[in-house]
């Protein structure tokens, strides 16, 4: 898609799909190998994402795995301050996004650490408008994730949200159809099968299926054995128009992009 994100003055072109590498500073993320709990591990993971070809580091400090209980706002902020200070020191040129559903956290990470993108992992309905107002004031690209269960409802939801955000002055909007959120196994695959329909919104689409249960439940394995299935779905998503892949395994996703770009 011919779309450019303005990330604090850095222009990120999406005419070639980009890869977003996951860096979790939570002790309870569903995929154990993604948990970074020491300064050394955070620095190593941040550098690894860039070396392997990722263009965005996506930092999460509050697990959204099924049945998880969100940590307090103060705990989420503490984890982010600790990890973002390390990342900014070790890879100051990196484009960083932060996963959060809290407007106050979004403000803190942008104002204190110059975070480039807010990746909204699903603000509760009663605070969603507050998040919209916050990102519009902060003037950073915003990823909206829909928890709707069918493509029809995702399209209606995202179109409505995009209109609201534009009315508030928000420029860069990315749509995430929310694989694994508010959907059954069958609904996840139905949405994937119709992913190209999101093109009608004329907004970049982020796909995050990395090692999720929609893969390992179908294949009767576990997150540790879900890389091959992740690669298969990432390839399908790229063919259907995805602009950003959010992944644990950066090198493999970058290879998918390179091969399909060559085609």
% helix / strand / coil in the chain, to the nearest 5?
50, 15, 35
- 161 phi/psi in degrees, rounded to 5: -65, -45
- For residues 157 and 119, what is the distance between their CA atoms, to the nearest angstrom? 17
**Nearest-10 Cα torsion for 185, 182, 210, 86:** -160
Distance CA 105, CA 130 (A): 12
Residue of 65, 217, 246, 251 marked catalytic: 246
In the set 212, 217, 240, 251, the catalytic residue is 212
Collapse the DSSP code of 100 into the 3-class scheme (helix H, G, I; strand E, B; otherwise coil) and give the result.
strand
Residue 246 is a catalytic residue:
yes
Q: Are 22 and 35 in contact (CB under 8 A)?
A: no
Element (H, E) at 74: helix 73-90
Is 147 annotated as catalytic? Answer: no
Catalytic residues: 212, 246
């Amino acid at each position: 898609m011919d779309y450019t994100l303005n990330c604090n003055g850095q222009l990120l072109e999406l005419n070639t799909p980009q890869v977003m590498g996951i860096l979790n500073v939570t002790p309870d993320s569903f995929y154990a190998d993604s948990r970074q709990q020491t300064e050394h591990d955070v620095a190593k993971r941040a550098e690894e994402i860039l070396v392997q070809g990722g263009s965005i580091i996506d930092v999460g400090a509050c697990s959204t795995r099924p049945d998880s209980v969100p940590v307090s706002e103060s705990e989420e902020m503490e984890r982010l301050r600790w990890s973002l200070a390390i990342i900014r020191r070790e890879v100051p040129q990196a484009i960083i996004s932060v996963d959060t559903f809290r407007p106050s956290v979004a403000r803190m990470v942008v104002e204190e650490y110059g975070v480039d993108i807010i990746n909204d992992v699903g603000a509760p309905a009663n605070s969603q408008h507050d998040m919209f107002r916050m990102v519009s004031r902060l003037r950073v690209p915003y990823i909206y994730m829909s928890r709707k269960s069918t493509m029809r409802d995702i399209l209606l939801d995202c179109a409505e949200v995009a209109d609201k955000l534009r009315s508030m002055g928000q420029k860069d909007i990315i749509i995430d159809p929310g694989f694994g959120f508010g959907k059954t196994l069958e609904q996840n695959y139905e949405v994937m099968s119709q992913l190209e329909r999101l093109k009608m919104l004329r907004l970049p689409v982020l796909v995050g299926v990395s090692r999720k249960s929609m893969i390992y439940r179908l294949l009767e394995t576990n997150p540790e054995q879900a890389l091959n299935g992740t690669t298969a779905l990432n390839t399908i998503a790229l063919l259907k128009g995805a602009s950003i892949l959010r992944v644990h395994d950066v090198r493999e996703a970058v290879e998918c992009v390179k091969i399909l770009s060559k085609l």
